[in-house]
Amino acid sequence: MNKKLRKAVIAGNWKMNKTRQEAAALINEIKPLVAGAGCEVVVCVPFTHLETALAATAGSNVKVGAQNCHWAASGAFTGEISAGMLADLGVGYVIVGHSERRQYFGETNLTVNGRVRAGLDAGLTVILCVGELLEEREQNITEEVCSLQTKIALAGVSKAELQNIIIAYEPVWAIGTGKTATAAQAGEVCGFIRGVVAGLYDQAAADGLTIQYGGSMNAANAAELLAMPDVDGGLIGGASLKAPDFAAIIKAAND
């Protein structure tokens, strides 16, 4: 019942893939397949492809996101991109705290919080990723890890600003591995995270928050995952690079 209170969002995380030409071609293939979608559709492309993606999606229901932003508005941060620069381009979404950023680029809960803050300040919708490592699941500390990541990332975020936050629960052991969490596992942790948000704000705020599952979601398993009461969408890596697969996941979200 509460699921009706929130919008379903299916977002593709293209990671470091595609040339600009390939990006435009993929978007042009996706657009007619998802034109009537009842859910929000987002493609998070590499920084260098943002303008191409914005041009290719113009006038369609496909929205464009980036895969990271810096915590500062500007300054001596060689190689970084600010949230304001993304907003200036017309980008509407940004992924923050992806496990690949945490794993390979030294992101911490505190830097993730800074990037969340920066994204909100620039008027972007932030897709905040949280999730446990395999060892953490095996040690039965999934809830502690997800709770801590969520609480620190949302520090200083007001209840009103929560409307511009999407949380993506992404168990690290399921990302790019072909190992999907079972629908029960995904539903359980998404429900747990919603409870954490209810504790931080209130139940109404938690009930309105879109929580995605991400981790090897594909055309075959999407319907079961998306049927779980607390799973409101998906953050899709590999399967978002193939238009028919991505469209099939969006269809599953609509159904």
* Other CB atoms within 10 Å distance of the CB of residue 90: 13
Those residues with Cβ within 8 angstroms of residue 98's Cβ, 6 or more apart along the chain or in another chain: 13, 67, 68, 129, 170
Query: Are the C-beta atoms of 126 and 165 separated by less than 8 Å?
Result: yes
Query: Is residue 12 involved in binding ligand PEP (CB under 6 A)?
Result: no
Is the Cβ of residue 169 or residue 201 nearer to ligand PEP in the bound state? 169
Query: Is residue 185 involved in binding ligand PEP (CB under 6 A)?
Result: no
Residue least distant from ligand PEP (Cβ) = 237
Active-site residue flag, 107: no
56 half-sphere exposure, CB direction, 13 A CA radius: 22
In whole angstroms, the minimum distance from the beta carbon of 215 to ligand PEP comes to 5
Count of residues binding ligand PEP (CB under 6 A)?
13
Catalytic residue among 49, 70, 98, 132: 98
In whole angstroms, the minimum distance from the beta carbon of 238 to ligand PEP comes to 4
Active-site residue flag, 136: no
d(CA 62, CA 76): 33
Query: Is residue 97 involved in binding ligand PEP (CB under 6 A)?
Result: no
Phi, psi angles (nearest 5°) of residue 24? -60, -40
Phi, psi angles (nearest 5°) of residue 62? -90, 125
Query: Is residue 235 involved in binding ligand PEP (CB under 6 A)?
Result: yes
H or E segment to which residue 233 belongs = strand 233-236
d(CA 154, CA 156): 6
Query: Is residue 237 involved in binding ligand PEP (CB under 6 A)?
Result: yes
Is the Cβ of residue 162 or residue 181 nearer to ligand PEP in the bound state? 181
d(CA 200, CA 162): 11
In whole angstroms, the minimum distance from the beta carbon of 88 to ligand PEP comes to 25
Using a 10 angstrom Cβ sphere, with 0-12 exposed, 13-18 middle and 19 or more buried, the burial of residue 191 is: middle
Stretch that binds ligand PEP, among 73-81, 189-197, 198-206, 237-245 (CB under 6 A): 237-245
Phi, psi angles (nearest 5°) of residue 180? -95, 145
Q: Using CB under 6 A, which of 146, 167, 196, 236 touches ligand PEP?
A: 236
Residue positions counted in the chain: 255
Query: Is residue 170 involved in binding ligand PEP (CB under 6 A)?
Result: yes
What would the x/- binding string for ligand PEP be over residues 125 to 164, using CB under 6 A? ----------------------------------------
Q: Which of residues 187-226 bind ligand PEP (CB under 6 A)?
A: 214-217
Query: Is residue 92 involved in binding ligand PEP (CB under 6 A)?
Result: no
* Other CB atoms within 10 Å distance of the CB of residue 23: 21
* Binding interface with ligand PEP (CB under 6 A): 13, 170, 175-176, 214-217, 235-239
Q: Which residues are the active-site residues?
A: 98, 170
